[in-house]
Amino acid sequence: MDKIQAAKSAVRDFYAKLDAGDANLSAVLEQHTDPNYLWRGFHPFGEITSASEVAARFWVPLRQSLTSLQRRQDVFFAAENSLDAERAVWVVSMGHLMGLFDLPWLGIRPTGKMAFLRYCEFNKVVDGQITETAMYFDIPHLMVQAGQNPFPPQTGAHLVQPGGQPHNGLLFDPQPCEEGDKTLATINAMISDLGQWDSGLSLEDELRRTWHEDMIWWGPEGIGATYTIPRYAEQHSGPFRAGFADRSKTGHICRLAEGHYGGFFGWPNFTARPVGGFMGMPATGQPGEFRVIDIYRREGDKLAENWIFIDLLHFWKQQGVDILARTTGIETP
């Protein structure tokens, strides 16, 4: 078994034990992670450097709140990190954690009904152990399901988001190397265009260089999803560029692709200074960090779908607005 398939097997074994209803979560995490484990999670969690603390602060409270928790994966793939000289393997899982929302979590009131926590997780695997995790999750989307919408009306639409249109995102088996290479090259070309914010083309024509005309951008709660290049330009990309200045260069920790799927994450990916209008909020002039995961599906020679996770709670906390505290009454660090 090559190291990519071995890493997939390690993470699938970890998930099988972690997702067991009677699991000792701390013991499971300690068994499958390195002693120097680093876990990165969206606000209010941040960086955690102890497997037992990850269990105590994140997994145990979540499992107590979302009872009968079930992992519903839409995307699963692995590859070497193209940004790492050592070419370490990372395994990516994306989907929803679904349960019955029976007890409060982070001050969000329970509904007693089904609830979905949208997530994407990157796990770095070395010698069968997970050494780093980026676990990003859409807390505002859970808040909306509980009737506690923290944001003004968004420009896109947010629903429980499906996986890729062909339903082929679970890459448990090996994939042709050339397909992953094509996907990574397409993502890199898109990043090159995006990083300019001024390609000399109209926004729609710039997007057409790397995106299908009927692309779907599955954005986070507070921004929403949008469909087709013209509507994406109108409902997110255009307003986002207009709402910010002084965008920094892109700083990714991991960027990889396997088969027709790929993605990246940063901590942060970039910084930018709000000049007004973004998400209906006023300008602060204060630079803020964007911690982001992007997952892509390539079709042919262009990108067809993109799932995005943005730590909007962290961004707005830097702007002086504690979204969780404002909505739930519970202060966050």
Q: At 153, is the pLDDT very low, low, confident or very high (cuts 50, 70, 90)?
A: confident
Let me know whether 181 and 138 are in one domain: no
Predicted TM-score (pTM) above 0.85: yes
In this structure, the answer to whether residues 128 and 263 fall within a common structural domain is no
Structural domain contains residue 160: no
Instruction: Round to whole Å and give the CA distance between 310 and 223.
Output: 10
182 and 139 within one domain: no
Of the three residues 122, 145, 168, the one that is the final residue of a domain is 145
Rounded to the nearest 5 degrees, what angle is found at the Cα of 167, between the Cα atoms of 266 and 207? 50
| Statement: residue 108 has pLDDT above 60 | yes
User: pLDDT tens, 306-328?
Assistant: 999 999 999 999 999 999 998 88
Helices (H), 69-138: none
Q: For residue 209, what are the CA distances in angstroms to 163, 234, 277, 301, 302?
A: 24, 17, 27, 10, 8
Q: Is 161 inside any structural domain?
A: no
Q: In this predicted structure, what is the pLDDT of residue 123?
A: 98
CA distance readout (Å), 260 to 93, 142, 256? 15, 29, 11
Is 216:224 a contact under the CB 8 Å cutoff? Answer: no
Give residue 330's pLDDT.
Answer: 78
What pLDDT, on the 0 to 100 scale, is given for residue 324? 92
Please write the tens of the pLDDT for every residue from 7-20: 999 999 999 999 99
The answer as to whether 212 is a domain residue is: yes
Residues 309, 291: Cα–Cα separation, whole Å: 8
**Parent domain of 188:** 177-328
Can you give the C-alpha Rg of the chain in angstroms? 19
- The answer to whether residue 155 scores a pLDDT higher than 90 is no
What is the DSSP code string of 262-308? EEEE-TTSEEEEE-S-GGGPPP----EEE-EEEEEEEETTEEEEEEE
- The answer as to whether 206 is a domain residue is yes
Give the pLDDT confidence score for residue 196 in this predicted structure.
60
The pLDDT confidence band at residue 76, using thresholds 50, 70 and 90, is very high
Residue after which a domain boundary falls, among 145, 162, 188: 145
Q: What is the pLDDT of residue 194?
A: 74
Q: Tens of pLDDT along 143-152?
A: 999 999 988 8
The rounded percent of the chain whose pLDDT value lies above 90 is: 83
Residues 124 and 227 in one domain: no
pLDDT reading at 301 higher than 80: yes
Co-location of 127 and 224 in the same domain: no
Residue 154 CB neighbours (<10 A): 22
- Indicate whether 18 belongs to any domain: yes
Residue 24 and residue 73 in one domain:
yes
- Is 29 in the same domain as 119? yes
**Has residue 158 been placed in a domain?**
no
> Which is nearest to 157 in space by CA: 94, 104, 213, 221?
221
Q: What is the pLDDT of residues 204-219, one digit of tens each?
A: 999 999 999 999 999 9
**Whether 86 and 194 share a structural domain:** no
Q: Do 236 and 281 have their domain in common?
A: yes
The answer to whether residue 13 is domain-embedded is: yes
Please check whether residues 204 and 293 belong to one and the same domain.
Answer: yes
Same domain, 194 and 317: yes
Round to whole Å and give the CA distance between 283 and 243: 8
Asked if pLDDT for residue 1 goes beyond 60, the answer is no
- In this prediction, residue 278 carries a pLDDT of 83
Q: Measured between alpha carbons, how far is 37 from 27 in angstroms, rounded to an integer?
A: 14
Residue 127, domain CATH: 3.10.450.50
Domain assignment of residue 79, yes or no: yes
Query: Domains in the chain: how many in total?
Result: 2
Residues above pLDDT 70, as percent of the chain: 98
Residues 195 and 78 in one domain: no
pLDDT at 174: 97
